[in-house]
Chain A
Amino acid sequence: MRAPLAQRLLLYALLLLGAVIAILPMVWMVSASLMPAGAANSYPPRLFPETVTFEHYRALFTRLNLGRYLLNSTFIAVVVTTISLLINSMAGYAFAKLRFRGRDRVFRLLSMGLVIPVQVSMLPLFLLMRELGLINTYWGVIIPSMASIFGIFLVRQYAFSIPDDLLDAARVDGAGELRIYLSIVLPVIRPILATLAIWTFLSTWNDFMWPLIVLSDDSMFTLPVALANLSGERVQDTELMMAGAVLTVLPVMLVFLVLQRYYVEGITLGSVKG
């Protein structure tokens, strides 16, 4: 049975309309960032530049220290991703597969933390970081993100599928638990680690509120904090702000587009078997 042509056309029309709405703001952002100063503020609005210029990108790197923010953001996101991947995967695996007293009670307690808004912790955390001398440092941003309940949850969900026989066979052969984790568990859970790595990288890169609170010195700012700061000072410089937005979004977009296969499949996992 074939559906009528009209029905199919309507379906595709709606899909295309949705696609245009989804990416139009991005298209305009890129296009405005290439316009000469002032050109984006015209009526009727232009969707594409008449003349293309890279002056705003140059200005961002030469006058506005953007290279530094890019470096800050990259360093923080890479370190958080690496460390949290190790810590969350060990915990997630143990909660699924290792037997120890109080395991399930501890896990239940932990997952209750998912309904606590993270902002509730921020005021005392700020005072704690101050005591530790970590205000305005990379570690002040990194440490609170080194372990995440969501990450543990995701790995645990996936680790249930590891066959017990596989682990027991290794134990019989005399392998230690750490050895089993490194040489058997990690390879098996690689797909979910890829998902978690991308998820962590993206959310650390995009994170705004905590870096805004903990970083006070301009030279320590991450890209979102610097961009928000800049947009307060230079609200009139539309094209310059768009160039800044492009440079902030571009790295995460590339990571997503290149690795989306690992990402998209994994993030629905937490929901299906919740």
Chain B
Amino acid sequence: MSTSAMGQRAGWWFVLPALALITGFYFLPVAGSLLLSLTDFDIYAIASPDNARFVGFGNYIALLHNPVFWTAVRNTFYFALVGGPLTVVVSLAAALLVNARLVRFKGFFRTIYFVPFVTTLVAVAIVWRYLYHPQYGLLNYVLGWVGIGPIDWLGNPRWAMPAIILMAVWKNFGYHMLIFIAGLQTIPSELYEAAELDGAGPLQRFRHVTLPQLAPTFLFVGVITMIGYFQLFSEPYVMTGGGPLRATTSLVLLMYEEGFRWWRLGVAAAVAFILFVIILAWTLVQFRLQKEQA
């Protein structure tokens, strides 16, 4: 047998376990989800799948008439569209600070800033629930110094989502900061020197050198942030249970409740698929915008 034929065979053997697992436990379930969303699969169907009937787009139509679904859509977009850009801006600011020429102990600050990202979300969500306590919480105490009156962060429908966003930014900025730092370090220093010779100040250098050079990094960070943020689940599950008054019920939380609390798997699958379409569309838009700018 020739070596290239052997290479052929070996290549497939090497990828086979991964492909089999990912197909069987990921791609097929995703396809199954589409089928599931077209049925009225519920607790009786769990007992015996024969009880499930094909209902066409019934679940989708029912969702479109369900105010809770629209609340979840609104909340999910609120979280992603406010929290996403905020995370990116904070990450970039942190990266610029840590990466500044004048700064020593870069590694120390980088590590400290990265710590929130490696912590367990459920655990820190519980910690933050106490930090947000209207009476005894640290946050209200600090805000009290500057005369901002006690806010019932998680108990007030207006403040619950901002509170969750704030925690998410704190938890995630370190990771994106690392990616920005890596991006910053690929910018050739000659560009800065040339700009400086042309008389550009720090702000102009940032606008005309740093930002354009970071464009690919922005796209990467933007895409993964938004994909992640559209999947909001654990924070509201632990901190608010989706309340108060459904103000923090996200699409994934709705899917979880429909599917695993009320066992309406058909409806839940429809929610999941709508989320998929939203994420896919959003990702494509981001790539398109980037291309137009370039």
CB distance from B110 to the nearest CB of A (A): 7
List the A residue with the shortest CB-CB distance to B90.
A18
- A24 contacts B179, C-beta separation under 8 Å: no
CA distance A230 to B102 in the complex (A): 47
The answer, yes or no, to whether B151 is at the interface (CB within 8 Å) is no
Residue of A25, A224, A260 near B120 (CB, 8 A) is: A224
Interface pair A264/B19, CB less than 8 Å apart: no
Asked if B179 contacts A227 (CB within 8 A), the reply is no
In the complex formed, the residue of B with least CB distance to A264 is B178
The secondary-structure label for the interface of chain A is helix
Given contacts A91-B18, A268-B182, whether A144 and B119 have CB atoms under 8 Å apart is: no
Knowing A171-B3, A249-B119 are in contact, say whether A119-B170 is a contact too (CB < 8 A): no
What 1/0 mask marks residues of chain A from 240 to 263 whose CB sits below 8 Å from any chain B CB?
A: 011011001100110011001000
Report the bound CA distance from A234 to B9 in whole Å. Answer: 57
Contact for A264 among B4, B114, B238, CB less than 8 A: B114
1/0 per residue, CB under 8 A from A, across B233-274: the answer is 110011000000000000010011001100001001100110
Is A24 in contact with B138, judged by CB distance below 8 angstroms? yes
Q: Which residue of A lies closest to B20 (CB)?
A: A147
Q: Are B110 and A264 in contact (CB under 8 A)?
A: yes
B186 pairs with A272, CB closer than 8 A:
yes
Out of B7, B114, B124, which one reaches A245, CB within 8 Å? B124
Q: Is B294 an interface residue (CB 8 A)?
A: no
Cβ of A25 to closest chain B Cβ, rounded Å? 5
Q: How far is the CA of A32 from the CA of B216 in the complex (A)?
A: 43
Q: Contact mask B212-225 → A, CB, 8 Å, 1/0?
A: 00001100110000
Binds A, one of B59-67, B126-134, B155-163, B203-211: B126-134
Q: Tell whether A7 is near chain B: CB-to-CB under 8 Å.
A: yes
Task: Name the contact of B231 in the complex, choosing from A95, A119, A126, A144 (C-beta under 8 A).
Answer: A119
B275 engages A268 (CB within 8 Å): no
- Count residues of B near A (Cβ-Cβ below 8 Å): 95
Q: Which residue of A45, A130, A205 contacts B141 across the interface (Cβ within 8 Å)?
A: A45
A60 within 8 A of B: no
CA distance A25 to B124 in the complex (A): 8
Mask for B73-96, Cβ within 8 A of A = 1, else 0? Answer: 000000000000000000000100
Partner of B115, one of A12, A87, A253: A253
Known contacts A98-B7, A224-B123, A252-B118: does B135 contact A43 (CB below 8 Å)?
A: yes
Question: Are the CB atoms of B268 and A117 closer together than 8 Å?
Answer: no
- Given A119-B272, A205-B120, A272-B183; A11-B97 close (CB under 8 Å): yes
Q: Do B276 and A117 touch across chains, with their CB atoms under 8 A apart?
A: yes
Q: How far is the CA of A260 from the CA of B114 in the complex (A)?
A: 10
A209 touching B233 by the CB < 8 A rule? Answer: yes
Residue among B18, B28, B269 with the highest chain A CB neighbour number at 10 A: B18
B109, A11: Cβ atoms closer than 8 Å: no
- B29 touching A98, Cβ below 8 Å: no
Q: Which of chain A's residues has its CB closest to B144's CB? A: A44
Q: How far is the CA of A215 from the CA of B13 in the complex (A)?
A: 33
Answer whether A45 and B136 are a contact pair too, CB < 8 Å, given A15-B103, A40-B130, A87-B18.
yes
| CB nearest neighbor in B for A143 | B25
Which residue in chain B gives the minimum CB-CB distance to A149?
B22
Bound-complex Cα distance A257 to B138 (A):
27
Q: Which residues of B contact A120 (CB under 8 A)?
A: 29-30, 33, 272-273, 275-276
Residues of B within 8 A of A12 (CB): 103
Contacting residues, chain A, for B32 (C-beta < 8 A): 123-124, 127-128
**A100 touching B275, Cβ below 8 Å:** no
- A26→B131 CA distance, assembly (Å): 11
Mask of A75-117 contacts with B, CB within 8 angstroms, 1/0:
0000000000001101101110011110100100010010111
Distance to closest chain B CB from A204 (angstroms) = 11
Q: How far is the CB of B56 from chain A (nearest CB, A)?
A: 18
- Asked if A197 is at the interface of the complex by the 8 Å CB criterion, the answer is no
| A117 interface neighbour in B98, B136, B170, B279, Cβ under 8 Å | B279
A-B contact pairs, 8 of them (CB 8 A): A19-B113, A26-B116, A41-B136, A88-B18, A120-B33, A124-B28, A224-B123, A271-B217
**Interface contacts beyond A21-B170, A117-B275: sample of 14 additional A-B pairs, CB < 8 Å, sorted by A:** A15-B98, A22-B112, A26-B127, A110-B22, A117-B230, A117-B272, A119-B255, A119-B275, A128-B32, A147-B21, A205-B120, A252-B119, A274-B216, A274-B220
- Sort A-B residue pairs by CB-CB distance and give the 5 closest, nearest first: A100-B11, A124-B32, A94-B14, A177-B10, A98-B11
> Which residues of B approach A to under 8 Å, CB–CB?
3-4, 6-15, 17-19, 21-22, 25-30, 32-33, 36, 46, 94, 97-98, 100, 102-103, 109-116, 118-124, 126-131, 133, 135-138, 141, 170, 174-175, 178-179, 181-183, 186, 216-217, 220-221, 227, 230-231, 233-234, 237-238, 252, 255-256, 259-260, 265, 268-269, 272-273, 275-276, 279-280, 283
